[in-house]
Amino acid sequence: MSVMMALGPYRFALSTSAYQQLKRSIEYRWQAQDRIGNNPAMQFIGPGKEQIGFEGVIYPEFRGGLGQTESMKRNADIGQPLLLVDGLGRVWGRWVIMQIEETRETFLSNGVPRKISFSMTIVSYGED
């Protein structure tokens, strides 16, 4: 199985829960220092929060089954930072799961969805 991204024991892959979009945002912290007779001077006080959002679709009949979003939730329930590694082997450090959303649609007669859209937001743990 070719892995797109691994978050702790969870694997994003084409054969399971492939994401179609990865959105990354990084904040930078600047503090205004008031000065007499001049505009405030901006002082850089360090990097801020780094966040990644995944959006994807799971087709349970095709591959991956119905348990993919539950597996994401189980990893979030641990309440611990998880190691993030991309498919090229780059280690991104430890991250925490902040939010998981899922939308189930196009149901079979027994209530099983044929399509599950999901999104997950993770934030860098901020190791020293």
Q: What would the DSSP string read from start to end of the chain?
A: --EEEEETTEEEETTS-EEEEEEEEEEEEEEEEEETTEEEEEEEEEEEEEEEEEEEEE-TTTTT-TTHHHHHHHHHHT-S-EEEEETT--EEEEEEEEEEEEEEEEE-TTS-EEEEEEEEEEEE----
pLDDT tens, per residue, the chain with 128 residues? 689 999 998 888 887 788 999 999 999 999 999 999 999 999 999 999 999 999 998 888 776 678 888 888 988 998 999 999 999 999 999 999 999 999 999 898 998 898 999 999 999 998 77
Instruction: Output the pLDDT for position 1.
Output: 64
